[in-house]
Amino acid sequence: MHWVKILGVAVGAAALLGLGIILGHFAIPKASDPLAPNTSDAQDLDLAILDLVMGQLDASRIRENLRELSKEPHVASSPRDEALVRLLLERWQDTETGLDAAKTYEYTVLLSFPRQEQPNIVEVVSPSGTVFHSFQPGEKNLTGEQVGPNVLQPYAAYAPPGTPKGLLVYANRGSEEDFKELETRGIKLEGTIALTRYGGVGRGAKAINAAKHGVVGVLVYTDPGDINDGKSLPTETFPNSWGLPPSGVERGSYYEYFGDPLTPYLPARPSTFRLDLNNISGFPPIPAQPIGFEDAKDLLCNLTGDSAPDSWQGKLGCDYKLGPGFKQDGSFPADSEVKVSVHNTLELRPSSNVLGIIQGAVEPDRYVIYGNHRDSWVHGAVDPSSGTAVLLEISRVLGTLLKKGTWRPRRSIIFASWGAEEFGLIGSTEFTEEFLSKLQERTVAYINVDISVFANATLRAQGTPPVQSVIFSATKEISAPGPSSLSIYDNWLRYTNRSSPVYGLVPSLGTLGAGSDYASFIHFLGISSMDLAYTYDKGKTSARIYPTYHTAFDTFDYMEKFLDPGFSSHQAVARTAGSVLLRLSDSRFLPLNVSDYSETLHSFLEAAQKDLGTLLEKHNISLSPLVTAVEKFKTAAAALVRRISTLQKNSPNPLQVRMVNDQLMLLERAFLNPRAFPENRYYSHVLWAPNTASAPTFPGLANACARAQDANSGSEAWAEVQRQLSIVVMALEGAAATLEPVDDL
């Protein structure tokens, strides 16, 4: 209706104006502010304040936060999701523990849901359509929390509706190589239904790969060999252990990209241009449906055909066959087919981000952003509410100090609760699209704490190289949970480490893909980012993630009983993230060590020389410009580190501090090239784009070489290799120039 559109435009304009007023207001330093102690430019990290915050982060309060957040299912845009928006606003507007400001920013986005009145279903049928067996949707009600009107039935979000049927084949993990293997073995895939297992490739890629080979429908299950260390009996799984029960089904988005599907590169405001539904790319081209491994066993263990390769075998207690179709002496007639009925619908829904803001005292126009998404598939105690529970506790402690007038950060802090992450990182992506210029110009770093606790063994940190040093500094000062006297750093070192040519043995910092809300910040905006969590001992389990991931069994009791009984790991993550946040917001000089990028670039260069050098020489392409560029960066980074050290020993003026901090902040942006990967939406960072090749080096170069290796010299494929090499060299030279003295023109 016309009045609805007018109201939507007005609301969108008001929200946009609101953020501009808030952040713009904070960018204007005040002549005097009674709430801003120690506002001189010399303000630096106050270790007494840091210790005070560490001591006040309370495990029992985090526990109660989690109980409240996860007591009901809260899928994006649901009434409970909106209730949590109000809860966050209330906390951040509290007169005793609140922040300077809190506000919501709403987007109208395209989401996908199953039909409650017409559930998705999988059936074994005769060629004429007679139903021999029906696999009911949903999970068994083991704890009284797996049924109810707000429990979303298992489905593949964004999979199209349809009722395909055909002979069943087993396609392992649904990769392109897996389908090619089936065809190599003489199996005709046209018109079949493919049964695949989670892992290997993304959810949506399984359906995309299948459709290329004529498959008409896809089923996806979680094999107990991939999640439960082979255990599959009800007595061995939840609620008797942390293992996924036989009826457990992983929900998830099957959309290939991130952000609102209708408004790529544009914020999904009511007035924004939207694509026609027929022009959307990235959706599964064929119906898909996830099922539990007890249902997968009935299908897979009755297949006929050759035995699957050893690497395709799982732990369902039978020899996995490839099909097509069922065996003669099985549970179903041999000529039976599988019918997949999917009734998903697409809906435009409002989804909100909630922002809580603390104004900086000295550099209010420099932002440290701390984010976590709010929405879940069902109760979501682990994913994402464990992260939100930590976020609320950190903001409570800082808000209390703020309201008492005893502390105010040097730089502004923005706490963010993102909406609709589970559907494809939608809330955070829309935010970065809307405020792209402001965020690129002013954001120091982005801290992401999505799932804060997978389990209680050790810290797991991922990030770009400059954040390594601040994470290390924080974790060395915090005790690890448990009876040992180790710091989080030393405990982390025990579980996962690497040998650094610069530092010796250090904990392993993982790289950032696109698994959570940091994606648009690092890949699209070029903002130094990190993701923090506590996780399990990979020496004791082969689980690819915690077993009840995206199921109706991810509940508060599951967390309290199996993952973090005393909530000490939650407290450890709160202290780690809180310490990193304070160090980034309060340190006079930003604690971002740009020299740590030199080690990464050197390792990429060595891999390129080792894995690609001979091939490139064959086609008269030299890596010498890349060698020179890496060395130039290393020299510039080392010189900046020395310059900062000299400034710290003296009394630099505010402009000197600001100039150096801007160099540290802007380094990550220098690695962006929006034309580097036109086929990969939002990916602009030339170092961290997806690498589909085997060489662990610069992704654009590695991918181009993989595509060109069988082509002739002078072909377009080899021209693209040369283009990618030039892109990398230009980026490294630009990054080096960013680090050189600002008066060196």
* Domain of residue 372, CATH code: 3.40.630.10
Instruction: Assess whether 126 and 108 both reside in one domain.
Output: no
- Do 318 and 265 share a domain, yes or no? yes
Residue 640's pLDDT band, with cuts at 50, 70 and 90, is very high
- Is the model's pLDDT at 577 over the cut of 70? yes
Average pLDDT, the chain: 94
Instruction: Give the pLDDT score at 133.
Output: 94
Residue 606: count other Cβ atoms within 10 Å of its Cβ: 14
User: Do 481 and 364 sit in the same domain of this protein?
Assistant: yes
With 90 as the cut, is the pLDDT of residue 533 above it? yes
**399 contacts 99 by C-beta, under 8 angstroms:** yes
Give the pLDDT score at 13. 42
Instruction: Give the chain's domain count.
Output: 4
Same domain (yes/no): 676, 691: yes
Helix (H, G, I), strand (E, B) or coil at 194: strand
Longest CA–CA span in the chain (Å) reads 86
**pLDDT one-digit tens code per residue, 477-489:** 999 998 889 999 9
Above 60 in pLDDT, residue 7?
no
Residue 415, in any domain of the structure: yes
- Give the closest residue to 193 by CA, choosing from 162, 222, 155, 224: 162
* CATH of residue 250: 3.50.30.30
CA dist., res. 321 & res. 377, Å (int): 33
Confidence grade of residue 40 (pLDDT, cut at 50, 70, 90): low
Residue 745 lies in a domain: no
> Is 40 domain-assigned?
no
Task: Give the domain-ending residue among 309, 342, 375.
Answer: 342
602 occurs within a structural domain: yes
What is the model's pLDDT at position 659?
96
Q: Tell which of 326, 342, 358 closes a domain.
A: 342
Residue 65's CB is within 10 A of a number of other CB atoms, namely 24
Mean pLDDT of 329-349: 96
**Tokens at residue 387, please?**
């992260």
Give me the residue label for tokens 């506790």.
393
365 shares its domain with 507: yes
State mean pLDDT over 495-521: 96
Do residues 237 and 255 both lie within one domain?
yes
Q: Are residues 77 and 13 in the same domain?
A: no
- In a domain? residue 38: no
What pLDDT does residue 31 have? 36
Active-site residue, selected from the candidate residues 294, 421, 422, 434? 421
**Nearest one of 555, 562, 266 to 385, comparing CA atoms:** 555
Which residues form the domain of 331?
115-342
Determine the pLDDT at residue 123: 97
Q: Rounded mean pLDDT of 492-520?
A: 96
42 lies in some domain: no
If you average pLDDT over residues 61-68, what whole number do you get?
98
The pLDDT of residue 168 is 98
Among 586, 608, 638, the domain boundary falls at 586
Is pLDDT at 32 greater than 90 in this prediction?
no
State residue 743's pLDDT score. Answer: 83
Q: Please tell me the distance from the alpha carbon of residue 425 to that of residue 403, in angstroms, as a whole number.
A: 33
Same domain, 171 and 309: yes
649 class by beta-carbon count within 10 Å (0-12 exposed, 13-18 middle, 19+ buried): exposed
C-alpha closest to that of 732 among 602, 619, 592: 602
Q: Between 678 and 576, whose confidence is greater? A: 576
The domain that holds 653 is classified in CATH as 1.20.930.40
| 539 and 452 inside one domain | yes
pLDDT tier for residue 15 given thresholds of 50, 70 and 90 = very low
- Does one domain contain both 87 and 136? no
**0.75 exceeded by pTM:** yes
Task: Kindly list the distances between the CA atom of residue 108 and the CA atoms of 8, 188, 267, 730, in Å, as whole numbers in the listed order.
Answer: 9, 43, 9, 39
Which amino acid appears at position 128 of this protein?
S
pLDDT tens, position by position, 209-223: 999 999 999 999 999
Q: Are residues 12 and 55 in the same domain?
A: no
376 in any annotated domain: yes
Residue 614 has pLDDT above 60, yes or no: yes
206 and 172: one domain?
Answer: yes
Question: Is residue 705 over pLDDT 90?
Answer: yes
The pLDDT of residue 39 is: 53
148: left (phi over 0), alpha (psi -120 to 50) or beta: left
Query: Does the annotation mark 421 as catalytic?
Result: yes
Cβ within 8 Å of residue 25, ≥6 positions away: none
pLDDT confidence tier of residue 30, bands split at 50, 70 and 90: very low
33 — pLDDT class (breaks 50, 70, 90):
very low
Q: Is residue 591 part of a domain?
A: no
C-alpha to C-alpha distance for 707 and 542, rounded to whole angstroms:
33
**Is pLDDT above 50 for 450?**
yes
Q: How far apart are the first and last CA of the chain?
A: 57
Structure confidence by residue, pLDDT tens digits, 83-137: 999 999 999 999 999 999 999 999 999 999 999 999 999 999 999 889 999 998 7
How far apart are alpha carbons 711 and 709 in whole angstroms? 6
Mean pLDDT of 593-598: 97
Following DSSP, what letter does each residue of 331-400 receive, concatenated?
Answer: SS-TT-EEEEEB--EEEEEEEEEEEEEE--SSEEEEEEEEEEE---SSS-IIIIIHHHHHHHHHHHHHHH
pLDDT at 357: 98
Alpha helices in 480-623 (DSSP H): 488-495, 519, 556-558, 568-586, 596-618
CA–CA separation, 170 vs 187, rounded Å?
Answer: 11
Check residue 520 and give left, alpha or beta (phi > 0: left; psi -120 to 50: alpha): alpha
